[in-house]
Amino acid sequence: MAANVLHNSADLRQLFRRLAPLLKPEGAILLREITAPKKLFDFVFGALVPPIADTAQRHGELFACAEDWQSALSEAGLTQFAAFPAKHTPAFALGEQILLAQRPAQQTEASASTPGLLSLTVTAEEGNRWPAEHLLQALKQALPSQPDQQLCVTEWYCNPVGAPSPLTLTVAQHGKHLTVQANNTPLLQARWRKTRTQQPIHSAFSRKLPQPWQPKGELWRWQWQSTTLSTADTAAPKILHVPDDQSAQERFYQTLRDELPQANENQPLLLLADRLFDDNHHHAADWLPGFLTVARHEYPQSRLILADGDPARGEKDAARLTAPVYRWHENSWQTQTLTKVPHESTAHHMASGCHLFIGGLTPTGLAVANQQIDQGVQKLLFLVRREPRPAEADQIARWRALGIDVVIDTAGDATQHEKFDAALIRMAQHGPIDTVWHLVGNIDDRPISELDWSALQQVYQLRMTTAHRLAAHQAQLSPNCTVYFSSAASVMGPRGQAAHASACCALERMASARCAQGYDTLAVAWGLWQITESLSQQQQAALAQRGMLPLETDAALNLLDQALAASWSTVAAMQLDGIRLQQAGISEADRLQFAELLPESTITNASTAPAGDDLDRYLRGVLAKQLNCTIETIHDQSNLVQLGLDSLLFLDLNETLASDLGIKLNAESVLKAGTVLELKQAIQAATAPATENESVLRQRLQQLEAHQPGWLDARGDVIDQPATSVTLSPLQRARWQQFANQPQLLYVEYDKPASFPVEAFVAGWQMLLNRHALLNSSINAEGEIVTSLTPAKLNLSRYDWRNEDVQEKQRALRVTMSRKRFDLSQPAPLEIALVRHESGYRIAIVISTLLIDIESFRVLLRELHQSITSPGGSLPALTFSPQSYQRTLLALAQLPSTKDTMSLIPPSLPWKKGDETAAFSIWRDALPASQWLTLKQQGDAFGVSGSDILLAAWALTLRDWLQQPALQLRMNYTDRLPLHPHSSQLVTDASTLMPVALTLASRGSFLQLAEAVAQQREQHLEQHLPGSAGEVACLTQLPVAFTSLLGVRQAYSIPEVSDPLLGMPDYEYAAQAFTPLHLQALEEESALLFNIDQQEGWLPDALGEVAMLTLRQLLETLAAGEEGWHASLDQLLPPDNDILAMLKEDA
């Protein structure tokens, strides 16, 4: 194998399980790998190493030692192992070894006679179900008895849902470790463990696991993209103007229906509308796009074109419009194509409040309701038009037997406005509503020639009247989310369903409009569900012939979760067979709109960039030349950073791509491209027609450029425009106004030996002051950041305390510096004290973090290290200024966006009226690295991050002090946006925060609690950018916070947070405004460090100390095994009767 490649695998054991079958019996793998820590590597490349999933098995190191390699190889069945040079030889000090592993002879036959291998057959439970406990019990019964040993699953590789029965399991056992395949598909890894009981231990299947036997569907959406009109005029179309007047719709519809048979290639029919696709305007003809989708199939010889925009522009370009649908947007015509929505990981949702179903007494609605119960909903409201039928009543009875509160109200006919409105008011009285589900609709299938206006309106009005009545009661219901169940008829346009498609299209338009108004609304245009009652077998067969296959219920519900996690207001959830669709015969209009789902597309790409093998050869050649290496060393999976492509070389590469291919990649592409393959994909994406970007950042940047040209360069990155002053963000302004009472600062102390290069350290800090603008900035009376053109002088104090009482003087210095009151009207918010004592130096640093966040402090320390270790070298030029970063952040925050609707309520702790200037009591602790890495690895398996775990644990720690089980906490973190390739080198303030709402239900588990945090975190990151005024409310109204220094958008690796010069602080204190109770956490190589800061006089004195003990105990329990994750909260952390009694006595 290539030298120093395989350590980049996220999981060495999984890697070798995949590699081992490539070897014949007695075949060997020869590796060359670094097997000792490399500090220089950590410093240069540490921030860019790939994510590692098996950190605990590597003992916290990227480079596994020879023993860890041997363990991973052995578990994969490669039992013969040797490492050269050996430990006793001088060459071992090089830290790099040749590793040799060999597969035993005759290990290919899976039979009971082969040592270590076993084959067994397992039959599914009733209903073809494969619960984890069923599989584990069958395994244990088939394996030789292991006295006092328990079979524990360490990792599931897939979810066998949908697998055929019987299922053949092949078990490979290596000592106490087992790997199991199901029909030659990796299923699980397990091990024997000594325990008091012998019942198999397993974890539930994560919803993120692959489901290889489950029929899959996909999410799709309409995407607008700019287009160039034909240079040659086509046949002059007949033009119909679309009225935006409700009273004119019937007459227009009749005219349109009469014109449809006459439209053809020689005389297309062009319909010109104005603001039909404008989310901020309700158009009277919102039914039209869906209607035309069906009309194109019922009149296949017709050529129908819908163009939305300035009618004069449409008439001018009429003869050059050839696609089915256009809109005039941002000074150009755009067309729409159906594009796949990327899969987004979905965490378990810990539901709160109740769910209101409008309609829903159908197989589809009951399946959705059942899913919500599985996710924690305790109350269901059904507003329907009839009493439940027997089968439905049985299902409701089963729910009630489980303790679910189910309310059935039969006044659900939206056409009877007064009764329906009264029913909605009754529903609102049942408590906070989490989600409203609109499942109302009917079908009147008939060809357009027989579909008069009244028939279309009956179908339209039922869906839309219901939606409008719900919207009218938005204030009373106040749901977190509204979900409309629409139909893929609006997308695929099946013949005979013009009324259905028209109503669904209008409903989807309303979802977009509501999102634009700030109301979270999702419309799902469903394909065929397997359990749908309303379609006959003949209709299902007709749909299947055109590629629409039925969705199984579990697959459909999975798609629903994905749709809720995605950022689009309207998606289509379908299982489509593109080959069948193409074989059925499709029109040119469909070919244009459905290009992505067809096996072969007639859409051509006019890019000059090479493709396929040509692009591969070109890129490898360019990289080899730039990096001074051979082309043979560069492959698809080569890590760009490890090849030597740093951020500066990437800029050179980008210029080469621009010169050769006319392509420039933006900062987000730079951030995401970790391998050669990902770089090729970024180049291919850049050569494709302009598309809407997936991230909210790219969307907002493009929106900003459209409104105010001149922000972005050709790559789509922000152009540097340095300024001597820039306005504070709303969050910074709030902290600035509170700075006199509650300064925002960081204080750290380091102990260094007498050999420490003190003078180079001092000179290095002066260099940093000269280099970074915000170290020379102040804040004027108007709240503007003003940068001085003259670098400040380092504020340095020196003390010689040899032969003196160091401890007493040190305590006094700590009090003085940690309570420093910086004058923010003066530059250089930084002070350093150097103390000489008998054994060396103590270095104390205090810095205002109002304009310089902690991540910037790390940047400073890394640059300081580089200046000391390479005094003749130069640091990278700063080609992007913090002023440009701040200015862009403020401009993005001014753009229209979805507003937060969550009301912010402080946790119901026993608050007192304290003094804002009071000092803090601080408790510190550390969780050993072995426990913390185990805990993080468990979280990774469940799809939750270290930050999610700690915030959930912090909430549970506070439970017994609360008067109410529901609470809202604030998560503080840094979110440095990739506005420019050099954003990562900035010294600036990218701090932000988010609210997290949780309910500490006694029956819920810690896993559900952590998943609720993860879901809110992911949703917030997908939908929000820092800099908005809403952050101020979160800061000032949520006084209990958790500050994560572990990385929130993307978890940091340990080398990223390590300082190679000073190491971890021996003492640290970070103060924040509006935060009388505060948990902070960061990780280093030896431990997770965390502290609780409690401002004196605001809460009971015992709270902080008890909370620290409780938090430590809780983290240790969770790290001990997965049992704690699944136990109820009261079992995991029994209520503390002493706290409850004390609070009762105080009350």
Decide if pLDDT at 1059 tops 70: no
Decide if pLDDT at 648 tops 80: no
Q: Cα separations (Å) of 127 from 124, 163, 272, 367, 531?
A: 8, 12, 54, 16, 15
Give the pair of three-digit tokens for residue 944. 């939750």
Tens digit of pLDDT for each residue in 195-223?
Answer: 666 566 666 776 656 676 765 788 999 99
Q: Is the peptide bond before 610 cis (omega within 30 degrees of 0)?
A: no
Query: What number does CATH give the domain 903-1146?
Result: 3.30.559.30
Q: Cα separations (Å) of 567 from 520, 563, 772, 783, 802?
A: 10, 8, 37, 35, 62
Decide if pLDDT at 120 tops 90: no
Decide if pLDDT at 408 tops 60: yes
pLDDT of residue 473: 94
- Identify the band that residue 952 occupies on the pLDDT scale cut at 50, 70 and 90: very high
Sign for the CA dihedral angle at 415, 419, 422, 424 comes to: negative
User: How many whole angstroms separate alpha carbon 146 and alpha carbon 144?
Assistant: 6
- Identify the band that residue 607 occupies on the pLDDT scale cut at 50, 70 and 90: very low
pLDDT of residue 1057: 47
Region 1046-1073: mean pLDDT is 71
User: How many whole angstroms separate alpha carbon 908 and alpha carbon 915?
Assistant: 19
Q: Which residues are CB-contacts of 808 (< 8 A; sequence separation ≥ 6)?
A: none
Same fold, 6-102 and 354-578: yes
Decide if pLDDT at 772 tops 80: yes
Phi first, then psi, for residue 744 (nearest 5°) are -95, 110
The percent of residues above 90 in pLDDT, for the chain, comes to: 45
pLDDT of residue 1033: 92
Q: Does domain 612-688 have CATH number 3.30.413.10?
A: no
User: How many whole angstroms separate alpha carbon 669 and alpha carbon 714?
Assistant: 13
User: Among 621-630, 976-985, 1044-1053, where is mean pLDDT lowest?
Assistant: 1044-1053
Question: Which candidate, 77, 82, 114, places its Cα nearest to that of 99?
Answer: 82
Burial class (CB in 10 A: 0-12, 13-18, 19+), 537: exposed
Amino acid present at 403: G
Beta bridge partners of 357: 382, 437
Tens digit of pLDDT for each residue in 278-308?
Answer: 999 999 999 999 999 999 988 877 889 999 9
Alpha helices, DSSP H, located in 375-525? 390-401, 417-428, 453-472, 474-477, 489-492, 498-516
- Identify the band that residue 132 occupies on the pLDDT scale cut at 50, 70 and 90: confident
Q: Cα separations (Å) of 186 from 7, 37, 903, 1072?
A: 22, 32, 46, 49
Report whether 918 contacts 1074 (CB < 8 A).
no
Q: Cα separations (Å) of 675 from 335, 671, 680, 978, 1119?
A: 33, 11, 9, 18, 33
Report whether 501 contacts 453 (CB < 8 A).
no
725-890 belongs to which CATH class? Answer: alpha beta
Decide if pLDDT at 1106 tops 70: yes
* Location of structure tokens 């297309």: 268
Domain locations in the chain as residue ranges = 6-102, 117-214, 222-338, 354-578, 612-688, 725-890, 903-1146
Taking each helix axis from N to C terminus, what angle separates 1102-1119 and 946-957, rounded to the nearest 10 degrees? 130
DSSP label at residue 599? S
Tens digit of pLDDT for each residue in 348-390?
Answer: 445 667 999 999 899 999 999 999 998 889 999 999 999 999 9
pLDDT of residue 677: 84
Tens digit of pLDDT for each residue in 436-487?
Answer: 999 999 888 888 988 999 999 999 999 999 999 999 999 999 999 999 999 9
Tens digit of pLDDT for each residue in 935-951?
Answer: 999 998 899 999 999 99
Question: Which candidate, 958, 963, 1039, places its Cα nearest to that of 995?
Answer: 1039
Q: Does domain 354-578 have CATH number 3.40.50.720?
A: yes
Q: How would CATH label the architecture of 6-102?
A: 3-Layer(aba) Sandwich (3.40)
Decide if pLDDT at 1029 tops 70: yes
User: How many whole angstroms separate alpha carbon 193 and alpha carbon 24?
Assistant: 31
Report whether 958 contacts 907 (CB < 8 A).
yes
Report whether 1030 contacts 899 (CB < 8 A).
yes
Region 618-646: mean pLDDT is 79
Tens digit of pLDDT for each residue in 544-582?
Answer: 667 888 888 888 888 898 899 888 999 999 998 887 777
Decide if pLDDT at 691 tops 80: no
Report whether 534 contacts 550 (CB < 8 A).
no
Report whether 1042 contacts 911 (CB < 8 A).
no
Amino acid present at 100: L
Tens digit of pLDDT for each residue in 850-877?
Answer: 999 988 998 899 889 888 988 877 777 7
Taking each helix axis from N to C terminus, what angle separates 854-869 and 758-771, rounded to the nearest 10 degrees? 120
Decide if pLDDT at 405 tops 80: yes
- Identify the band that residue 641 occupies on the pLDDT scale cut at 50, 70 and 90: low
Decide if pLDDT at 108 tops 50: no
**Angle 19-20-23 from CA coordinates, rounded to 5°:** 105
pLDDT of residue 233: 67
DSSP label at residue 840? E
> 907 in helix, strand or coil?
coil
Give the pair of three-digit tokens for residue 891. 């401009």
User: How many whole angstroms separate alpha carbon 822 and alpha carbon 1036?
Assistant: 22
Question: Which candidate, 1062, 1065, 1093, places its Cα nearest to that of 1077?
Answer: 1093
Q: Which helix (H) or strand (E) holds 558?
A: helix 553-565
pLDDT of residue 112: 38
Spacing of C-alpha 968 from chain mean position: 21
Alpha helices, DSSP H, located in 628-688? 640-643, 647-661, 667-672, 676-687
**E strand map for 881-1013:** 920-928, 966-974, 991-999
pLDDT of residue 115: 46
Tens digit of pLDDT for each residue in 878-902?
Answer: 878 999 999 999 999 988 775 656 7
- Identify the band that residue 606 occupies on the pLDDT scale cut at 50, 70 and 90: very low
User: How many whole angstroms separate alpha carbon 177 and alpha carbon 735?
Assistant: 54
Q: What share of the chain is helix, strand, coil (3-state, %, to 5)?
A: 40, 20, 40
Tens digit of pLDDT for each residue in 413-431?
Answer: 888 889 999 999 999 999 8
Tens digit of pLDDT for each residue in 716-741?
Answer: 788 887 777 899 999 999 999 999 88
Average pLDDT, the chain: 85
Tens digit of pLDDT for each residue in 800-848?
Answer: 999 888 888 999 999 999 888 899 999 878 999 999 999 999 999 999 9
Region 59-70: mean pLDDT is 85
Report whether 217 contacts 575 (CB < 8 A).
yes
pLDDT of residue 113: 38
Give the pair of three-digit tokens for residue 884. 């440009």
